[in-house]
Amino acid sequence: MKRTVTVLLAISALLLSACDAGTAESTSDDISPEIMAISGSSAIQEEAAAESIAPEEKTGTLTERETIIKGFEENYVPETEPQAEASEGPVFRAIECPENNYVLYAVDDIIVFYDTSNYNYEKSTGYITLDFTDLESRPLGSVKLPEGFYSTESYKGTDGVLFYLSDEYYDEETQQIESVTVKINEDLSMEVMDGPDTPDYVFEAGGHKFANRGIDLYCMDGEPKILIPGYTKEGDEYGFYTRSIAYRFPIDNDRFVYSEVGYEAIPGFGVYDFSTGKAADIPDSKDRVPFGVKDNKIYSVRTAWDGFGAELFVTDTDTLDTEPFADFSRWLDGLTSVFFFMPESGEYIIAITDSHEMGMKAYRISTDSGEITDEYDFPEGYYFYTSYGFTKNGELMIDHRDGLILFKF
């Protein structure tokens, strides 16, 4: 309070002194808006000089001084009062691939480039080099893959494993299809695991470890055990009626969302609860793909195995009841694709549309109202190939085949 009074007196003294130096008839009505808007910080710089002025040197009537001080008080904002930060708007960054490279994977804020400059596609000879960079394109290291190894099937790892690469090839000597898996560790060392046994691709989410073995989803906390079994039909040689289980994302520390995956089909999804040890299929969830959760509500999109959908739904994780949320089917006219994403915070939904005619565009959708609150046109020449989820900073990682886009509303 003492500091504020001092500042007010300093400013009133400065203004009234200026009146003496000019025309003595001037009143507060003649003071320019620029003078009235003097900030607290600039006034403090003159504080010592203002305090040295003797009271008898100050001129003007009490009414004039009151008018000046009152006007300042109405416009004064203390330095300590927090100011609202200006919105920086959508953030777009593009990381281009080096020559003879393309993006293989992006995981844990690390980008993996697939360098094919020493590989002969026609003869399947030579080798591939994996080049690792951070999100600022700073090099982290390289790994040379085994001679002749070529695979783009990557699986996220855990317990010191960054990811796996799996490849199958025809061995002319044994006349058998052989498999080989390369394990890339977090220290960028490499291990080659070949043979008939496929290793478990263990991943961690929501405080638990999981692995897919065949069509079943396993919990790998300690001794492996089946959490949710898939199912098949006797005599189903080609897997037309087989259903496998895929982990989707956590709801909380006890529950997570899973999907059923079938041959040319999307059977539905459900919720598994560790506290009860039970899985519950969501009723009437056929052809719906879950993509995010907020406040115990699962957001999903109705789609099809051979196309894209734009009808959104919300499912209550306690009652398992589902309601329509938003319908953007109008986007499908003339579009080649539409994808929905939600950051872990559940703050909003990102919809990415991609059209040969309209280019690529992003929409920000409120998770409360389902309304579009912002939109962004990507620069010309970019298109959607796949996504690797979000960075730790909440940027969506989009592979456009010639590099990586980092985008955030």
Q: How confident is the model at residue 8 (pLDDT cuts 50, 70, 90)?
A: very low
Helix residue spans in 103-172 (DSSP H)? none
278-305 burial, b for 16+ CB within 10 Å, e for fewer?
ebeebeebebbbbbbbbeebbbbbbbee
**Cβ pair 71, 28 in contact under 8 A:** yes
Average pLDDT, the chain: 79
**Cβ pair 184, 164 in contact under 8 A:** yes
> How buried is 254 (Cβ within 10 angstroms: 0-12 exposed, 13-18 middle, 19+ buried)?
middle
Interval 55-68 mean pLDDT: 46
Query: Given the DSSP bridges, would you call strands 322-327 and 337-341 parallel, antiparallel or unpaired?
Result: unpaired
Interval 161-186 mean pLDDT: 82
**Cβ pair 108, 162 in contact under 8 A:** yes
Q: Which two tokens stand for residue 158?
A: 């855990």
Lowest mean pLDDT among 92-96, 178-182, 247-251, 394-398: 178-182
Interval 275-290 mean pLDDT: 95
Dihedral of CA atoms 98, 100, 104, 105 in degrees, nearest 10, equals: -10
**Cβ pair 217, 247 in contact under 8 A:** yes
Span 241-252, pLDDT tens digits: 899 999 999 999
pLDDT attached to residue 43: 41
Interval 340-357 mean pLDDT: 92
Q: What are phi and psi of 186, to 5 degrees?
A: -65, -25
Distance CA 312, CA 49 (A): 66
Interval 376-400 mean pLDDT: 93
Enumerate the β-bridge partners of residue 134: 110
DSSP-derived secondary structure letter, 56: G
Q: Which two tokens stand for residue 371?
A: 């309304």
| Cα–Cα separations (whole angstroms), residue 262 to 193, 287, 304 | 29, 11, 12
Domain coordinates of the chain in residue numbers? 2-75
Residue 65 has pLDDT above 70, yes or no: no
pLDDT attached to residue 198: 59
DSSP-derived secondary structure letter, 28: G
In one-letter notation, the amino acid at residue 172 is E
Helix (H) or strand (E) segment spanning residue 42: helix 40-45
pLDDT attached to residue 387: 93
Neighbours of 193 (CB within 10 A): 14
Residue 38 has pLDDT above 70, yes or no: no
pLDDT attached to residue 406: 95
Interval 371-398 mean pLDDT: 94
Q: How confident is the model at residue 217 (pLDDT cuts 50, 70, 90)?
A: very high
> How buried is 174 (Cβ within 10 angstroms: 0-12 exposed, 13-18 middle, 19+ buried)?
exposed
> How buried is 47 (Cβ within 10 angstroms: 0-12 exposed, 13-18 middle, 19+ buried)?
middle
DSSP-derived secondary structure letter, 231: B
Distance CA 350, CA 272 (A): 26
Residue 89 has pLDDT above 90, yes or no: no
pLDDT attached to residue 152: 79
pLDDT above 90 coverage of the chain, percent? 49
Residue 41 has pLDDT above 50, yes or no: no
Distance CA 215, CA 238 (A): 14
Lowest mean pLDDT among 96-100, 141-145, 167-171, 372-376: 167-171
CA atoms within 13 A on the CB side of 181: 17
Closest alpha carbon to 247 in 267, 266, 277, 227 = 227
Lowest mean pLDDT among 97-101, 304-308, 389-393: 304-308
**Cβ pair 226, 217 in contact under 8 A:** yes
